[in-house]
């Protein structure tokens, strides 16, 4: 077939993508990025928290209690972002059976679950003094709780099956199905009457927040994103070592480390 002759010539981007999919290459590259990501997340996180908890003025109605927003909202955004990331990798893992995508999807699940948990707890702590209740079964709160259960389901399913690659594919399938919950979480405050307020910050159009209060929030959002990728790379590196423990490149790393340890 004449069409097949072109497949040998790959654009540099596609070639890089293929290289990235190889576990040893990814392991080395991730190891080089990791300290930088942790440092950036730590510095921007500290700036964002200081800006939010100290510099930003108190809200005209809520007083200082509104400062919970600087933890709650970035974590809530991350709970959705991480799920979308996990689902996208699950999709690639299911169709193309790329080992790295399986690893990335499974490594992001516990991080996403943690962000979702923090979202629910911080919202609850804020809700008691402001709304007058820890919890109510409105559409936003309920769909966010479903999101936590989806994360826990993916983690649980992954660990319930012995063979790691089969387990990843089964869990990836669940992660992909659960993606329908994302628009429900996001639009729940629009589609239904909820106790939870509507969207304050929007990508398009005016944000309903003063700029003196907004910049720490956006800084925190940036910090949580960088932290997620740092945590993801660290977890994926560990998972790849375990998954490929019989391979030559892992043995090479083990030998170098042993040599280092013995001086």
Partner 1 sequence: MTPTRKRRLIAVALILLAVGVAAALTVTALSQNMTYLFSPTETLAGKAPPGASFKLGGVVLESSIKRDPNSLKVDFVVTDRFKQIPVEYTGILPDLFREGQSVIATGKMQGDRFIAREVLAKHDESYMPKEVADAIAKAKAAHAAETK
**Residues in 110-129 that interact with partner 1 by CB under 8 A:** 129
Q: Is 105 in the site for partner 1 (CB under 8 A)?
A: no
CA distances (Å), origin 236, targets 1, 125, 216, 252: 39, 33, 30, 18
Q: Which is nearer to partner 1, 56 or 114 (CB)?
A: 56
Mark the segment that binds partner 1 (CB under 8 A) among 16-24, 75-83, 134-142, 154-162.
134-142
Cα–Cα distance, 110 to 235 (Å, whole number): 10
**For partner 1, which residue of 31, 35, 57, 252 counts as binding (CB under 8 A)?**
57
Phi and psi (nearest 5°) for 224?
A: -70, -35
Which residues, in sequence order, are CB contacts of 32 under 8 Å at separation 6+? none
Residue from 5, 13, 54, 96 binding partner 1 (CB under 8 A) = 96
Cβ closest to partner 1, residue 27 vs residue 178: 178
Q: Taking CB under 8 A as the rule, does residue 193 contact partner 1?
A: yes
Stretch that binds partner 1, among 29-37, 59-67, 147-155, 245-253 (CB under 8 A): 59-67
Q: Is 55 in the site for partner 1 (CB under 8 A)?
A: no
Please tell me whether residue 191 binds partner 1 under the rule CB under 8 A: yes
Do residues 209 and 60 make contact, with C-beta atoms less than 8 angstroms apart? no
Q: Give the H or E element holding residue 244.
A: none
User: CA 43 from chain center: how many Å?
Assistant: 19
Minimum distance from residue 65 beta carbon to partner 1 (Å) = 7
Cβ distance to partner 1 smaller for residue 62 or 249: 62
What is the C-alpha separation between 235 and 105, in angstroms, rounded?
Answer: 11
Q: Which string of DSSP letters, residue by residue, matches 44-85?
A: HHHHHHHIIIIISPPBTTTBGGGGGHHHHHHHHHHHHHHHHH
Q: Which of 166, 199, 255, 256 binds partner 1 (CB under 8 A)?
A: 199
Q: Residues 176, 221, 226, 232: which binds partner 1 (CB under 8 A)?
A: 176
Give the CA-trace dihedral at 209, 214, 220, 224, to 10 degrees: 50
Q: Least CB distance from residue 179 to partner 1, whole Å?
A: 7
Name the residues that contact partner 1, by CB under 8 A: 57-63, 65-66, 69, 91, 94-96, 129-133, 136, 138-139, 176-177, 179-181, 184, 191-195, 197-200, 208-210, 212-213
């Amino acid at each position: 077939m004449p069409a097949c002759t072109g497949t040998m010539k790959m654009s540099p981007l596609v070639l890089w993508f293929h290289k990235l999919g190889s576990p040893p290459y990814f392991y080395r590259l991730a190891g080089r990025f990791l300290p930088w990501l942790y440092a950036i997340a730590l510095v921007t996180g500290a700036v964002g928290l200081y800006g939010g908890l100290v510099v930003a003025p108190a809200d005209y109605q809520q007083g200082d209690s509104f400062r919970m927003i600087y933890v709650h909202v970035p974590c809530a955004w991350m709970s959705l972002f991480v799920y979308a990331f996990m689902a996208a990798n699950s999709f690639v893992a299911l169709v193309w059976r790329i080992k790295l995508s399986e690893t990335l999807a499974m490594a992001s699940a516990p991080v996403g679950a943690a962000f979702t948990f923090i979202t629910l707890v911080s919202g609850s702590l804020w809700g008691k003094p402001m709304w007058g209740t820890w919890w109510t079964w409105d559409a936003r709160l309920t769909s966010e709780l479903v999101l936590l259960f989806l994360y826990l389901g993916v983690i649980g399913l992954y660990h319930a099956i012995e063979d790691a690659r089969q387990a990843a594919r089964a869990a990836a399938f669940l992660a992909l199905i659960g993606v329908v919950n994302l628009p429900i979480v996001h639009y729940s405050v629009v589609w239904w009457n909820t106790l939870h307020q509507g969207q304050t910050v929007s990508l398009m159009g005016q944000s309903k927040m003063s700029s003196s209060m907004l910049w720490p929030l956006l800084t925190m959002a940036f910090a949580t994103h960088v932290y997620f990728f740092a945590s993801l790379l660290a977890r994926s590196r560990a998972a790849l070592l375990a998954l490929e423990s019989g391979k030559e490149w892992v043995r090479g790393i083990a030998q170098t480390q042993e040599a280092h340890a013995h001086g």
